[in-house]
Protein backbone atom coordinates (compact mmCIF):
# COMPACT_ATOMS: atom_id res chain seq x y z
CA UNK A 1 0.00 0.00 0.00
CA UNK A 2 1.45 3.36 -1.00
CA UNK A 3 0.27 6.78 0.15
CA UNK A 4 1.19 9.97 -1.69
CA UNK A 5 1.63 12.88 0.72
CA UNK A 6 2.97 15.68 -1.48
CA UNK A 7 1.65 16.49 -4.97
CA UNK A 8 4.61 18.56 -6.15
CA UNK A 9 6.67 21.68 -5.67
CA UNK A 10 4.77 24.73 -4.47
CA UNK A 11 1.61 22.81 -3.60
CA UNK A 12 0.34 22.25 -0.08
CA UNK A 13 0.63 18.95 1.73
CA UNK A 14 -2.44 16.76 1.28
CA UNK A 15 -3.24 13.34 2.72
CA UNK A 16 -6.59 11.60 2.17
CA UNK A 17 -8.26 14.94 1.47
CA UNK A 18 -6.87 16.78 4.51
CA UNK A 19 -4.85 19.84 3.57
CA UNK A 20 -2.10 21.77 5.36
CA UNK A 21 -3.04 22.78 8.92
CA UNK A 22 -5.90 20.27 9.17
CA UNK A 23 -3.38 17.46 8.76
CA UNK A 24 -1.43 18.77 11.75
CA UNK A 25 -4.63 19.27 13.79
CA UNK A 26 -5.61 15.69 12.99
CA UNK A 27 -2.21 14.22 13.93
CA UNK A 28 -1.96 16.27 17.13
CA UNK A 29 -5.50 15.36 18.11
CA UNK A 30 -4.91 11.65 17.63
CA UNK A 31 -1.72 11.87 19.66
CA UNK A 32 -3.53 13.67 22.49
CA UNK A 33 -6.38 11.12 22.46
CA UNK A 34 -3.81 8.34 22.72
CA UNK A 35 -2.02 10.05 25.63
CA UNK A 36 -5.30 10.56 27.52
CA UNK A 37 -6.23 6.93 26.83
CA UNK A 38 -2.92 5.71 28.28
CA UNK A 39 -3.22 7.98 31.33
CA UNK A 40 -6.76 6.73 32.01
CA UNK A 41 -5.71 3.11 31.61
CA UNK A 42 -2.66 3.46 33.84
CA UNK A 43 -4.66 5.26 36.53
CA UNK A 44 -6.89 2.21 36.93
CA UNK A 45 -10.04 3.22 35.05
CA UNK A 46 -12.07 0.32 33.65
CA UNK A 47 -10.65 -1.12 30.42
CA UNK A 48 -13.93 -0.93 28.47
CA UNK A 49 -14.46 2.69 29.50
CA UNK A 50 -10.98 3.55 28.20
CA UNK A 51 -11.62 1.75 24.91
CA UNK A 52 -15.01 3.43 24.51
CA UNK A 53 -13.53 6.83 25.28
CA UNK A 54 -10.73 6.29 22.77
CA UNK A 55 -13.09 5.20 19.98
CA UNK A 56 -15.61 7.99 20.58
CA UNK A 57 -12.95 10.72 20.96
CA UNK A 58 -11.09 9.58 17.84
CA UNK A 59 -14.35 9.43 15.85
CA UNK A 60 -15.33 12.94 16.93
CA UNK A 61 -11.85 14.17 16.06
CA UNK A 62 -11.98 12.62 12.58
CA UNK A 63 -15.47 14.04 11.94
CA UNK A 64 -14.55 17.51 13.25
CA UNK A 65 -11.30 17.70 11.28
CA UNK A 66 -12.86 16.65 7.98
CA UNK A 67 -15.82 18.96 8.63
CA UNK A 68 -13.50 21.95 9.19
CA UNK A 69 -11.53 21.01 6.07
CA UNK A 70 -14.71 20.93 3.97
CA UNK A 71 -16.16 24.11 5.49
CA UNK A 72 -13.15 26.45 5.46
CA UNK A 73 -10.81 24.97 2.86
CA UNK A 74 -7.05 25.22 2.77
CA UNK A 75 -6.53 28.73 4.19
CA UNK A 76 -10.02 29.60 5.45
CA UNK A 77 -9.48 28.62 9.07
CA UNK A 78 -6.45 30.92 9.32
CA UNK A 79 -8.50 33.75 7.80
CA UNK A 80 -11.27 33.23 10.37
CA UNK A 81 -8.75 33.24 13.23
CA UNK A 82 -7.08 36.39 11.86
CA UNK A 83 -10.44 38.14 11.47
CA UNK A 84 -11.18 37.63 15.17
CA UNK A 85 -8.00 39.51 16.10
CA UNK A 86 -8.84 42.66 14.10
CA UNK A 87 -10.60 45.47 15.96
CA UNK A 88 -14.12 46.41 14.90
CA UNK A 89 -13.22 50.10 14.73
CA UNK A 90 -10.30 52.42 15.44
CA UNK A 91 -10.45 55.22 17.97
CA UNK A 92 -8.57 58.44 17.30
CA UNK A 93 -8.64 60.75 20.31
CA UNK A 94 -6.35 63.43 18.88
CA UNK A 95 -7.82 66.60 17.53
CA UNK A 96 -7.67 66.47 13.74
CA UNK A 97 -6.46 70.09 13.39
CA UNK A 98 -3.29 69.18 15.30
CA UNK A 99 -2.15 67.14 12.33
CA UNK A 100 -2.09 70.18 10.06
CA UNK A 101 -0.68 72.91 12.36
CA UNK A 102 2.85 71.60 12.72
CA UNK A 103 5.18 72.01 9.74
CA UNK A 104 6.84 68.88 8.47
CA UNK A 105 10.36 68.20 9.67
CA UNK A 106 13.26 68.23 7.28
CA UNK A 107 14.79 64.91 6.39
CA UNK A 108 18.07 64.17 8.12
CA UNK A 109 20.83 63.05 5.80
CA UNK A 110 23.40 60.73 7.31
CA UNK A 111 26.85 60.52 5.81
Q: How confident is the model at residue 105 (pLDDT cuts 50, 70, 90)?
A: low
Contact predicate 66/14, CB 8 Å: no
Average pLDDT over residues 65-74: 82
Rounded CA-CA distance 72/68 in Å is 6
Mind listing the pLDDT tens digit for each residue in 8-61? 676 776 667 777 778 888 889 999 999 999 999 999 999 999 999 999 999 999
- Residue 22, class by beta-carbon neighbours within 10 Å (0-12 exposed, 13-18 middle, 19+ buried)? buried
Q: What is the pLDDT of residue 3?
A: 64
Q: What is the pLDDT of residue 101?
A: 65
Domain ranges across the chain: 14-101
Contact predicate 74/12, CB 8 Å: yes
Q: What is the pLDDT of residue 25?
A: 84
Rounded CA-CA distance 70/60 in Å is 15
* Percentage with pLDDT > 70 across the chain: 72
Amino acid sequence: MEYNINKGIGKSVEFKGLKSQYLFIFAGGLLSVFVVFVILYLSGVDQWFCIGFGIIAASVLVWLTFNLNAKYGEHGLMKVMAKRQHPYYLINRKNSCCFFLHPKRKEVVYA
